Every structure is written in C-alpha cells, then in structure tokens.
Amino acid sequence: MAKPPQTKPDSFRDPVEGDALAALLDEIAEEETPERLLKLALELQQQLLLSKQLKNPN
C-alpha cells in the first residue's frame, strides 16, 4: 500500500509540543498492527485535547 507524503501542517511544528505531535503522526503513518495503531490514535487524541485546553483555558 502506498504511503502518503510525509508533510506536516505548520501547527505541528511548534518547537516542543509540535515535535511530539509530529513524531506521533509519523509513528501512526508507519504502524501496521491495529492494536498499536489504536493506542497511538488514542495518545494523539489525548495530546491534542491537552494542547487545546492549554491554548484555550476557557
């Protein structure tokens, strides 16, 4: 199966947080086992939620 190009949105290039998200996205793109893919997706969801809460504490 062909893999999509490894481009990342600018929002994922934030120095600290962005590197972690970008690395997680790379892991997801490379993963083949459904169980690990689900674990990575849940981790990404948690990180995005935390990031959103930190940026918009309302």
Is residue 23, in this structure, part of any structural domain at all? yes
8 assigned to some structural domain:
no
Amino acid letter, 41: A
30 lies in which domain range? Answer: 15-53
How far apart, in whole angstroms, are the C-alpha atoms of residue 51 and residue 36?
Answer: 22
**2-44, pLDDT tens digit by residue?**
555 555 455 444 545 778 889 999 999 999 999 999 999 999 9
Q: What is the pTM of this model?
A: 0.65
Residue 29 covered by a domain: yes
Report H helices in 1-58. 17-30, 34-55
The rounded distance, in Å, linking the Cα atoms of 52 and 57 is 8
Q: How many domains does the chain have?
A: 1
Q: Is the residue at 45 inside a domain?
A: yes
Is 35 among the domain residues?
A: yes
CA pair distance 46, 20, nearest whole angstrom: 12
